[in-house]
Structure 1
């Protein structure tokens, strides 16, 4: 899994080719705000409002994960879902510092909008850095 910071600020072609030469599956989580490089087995698009994804990211994403900080982020999530390819899985995830407030709202939203799923940062609940 390639993540952290914004991996697509660098050309990922050499890295993904080397990993695939070792018969490894290669996954990425990215905001999609930079040109897509590399060869990915799983592409998680987690867009940010401040710099939206490039068109190619919407086309190849296997999943769309939208972080929910406040009630207005549900509208942003729907706007992003309207741009994503038809095969992508849609996730809503509470921003960690707002999890107590936002998780119940996300659960209600998903119950009323079943195209969405709930995503949680399980490693944080388990205190795994």
Structure 2
């Protein structure tokens, strides 16, 4: 029996189990998702509804034990919203690791917390969208992968000074879903300029899973 602090409660947007990771390095792997509620960055195209901060979105306080007990897959993805804005994130990560599962966290990088090195961190920066929430410098070296959402193609140039400092970290270029027909050809051209980068498609949307 895994013991967790029953006093810890998490603001949950939604959870779902036994699905497929559709983006980035771990595309195609079986995962569970824990989406923590809330994000102040305000991306207009946010696919979980936080373009206005999510004032009217689901926000259920659930115990850490309850959330961990429903896990099924060998890998858990913690996303949001913005996971790193929650002080209880570290407790959640440690509790998942205690079950023998692997942990991924997806973040804009606007809020920093130190995490165990075994935690896979996907940095998807949004500083070009909202300069009020810049990427915290620690993330550029800590992230295991970088995922840039591409709508105009200018995003790569914006982050290039940071990307140039990285070594052996995969960089994924992912079309913004609502303009994907325009963005995919832009990404193909960018890959000719940056052949070490990779295309990431939101596979889960194409195959119709959560």
TM-score, normalization by structure 1: 0.90
Match status 1:124 vs 2:205: yes
Identify the match of residue 158 of structure 2 among 57, 76, 82.
76
**Would the aligned equivalents of 2:175 and 2:201 in 1 still touch at CA under 8 Å?**
yes
Greater share of strand residues, 1 or 2? 2
After the TM superposition, which parts of structure 1 deviate over 3 Å for at least 4 consecutive aligned residues? none
Cα gap change, 1:38 to 1:74, in 2 (>3 Å): closer
State yes or no: 1:93 paired with 2:174. yes
Are 1:64 and 2:140 counterparts? no
Aligned to 1:24: 101
Aligned residues: 128
Largest Rg, 1 or 2: 2
Which one of the candidate residues 40, 43, 67 is aligned to 2:121?
Answer: 43
Deviations 1:1-52 (A, max 9, x none): 0012000001211111111111111111100110124335211000002122
**Which residue is 2:189 aligned to?**
108
Relative distance call for 1:67 and 1:60 in structure 2 (3 A) is same
**Could you tell me which of 129, 135, 139 is aligned with 1:53?**
135
What is the rounded CA distance, in whole Å, between the counterparts of 2:162 and 2:205 in structure 1?
26
**Contact in 1 for aligned 2:106/2:121 (Cα 8 Å):** yes
Q: Which has the higher contact order (CA 8 A, sep 6+)?
A: 2
Offset of residue 102 of structure 1: 0.8
SS of residue paired to 2:186: helix
Quote how far apart the aligned CAs of 1:126 are.
1.2
The unaligned stretches of length 5 or more in structure 1 are none
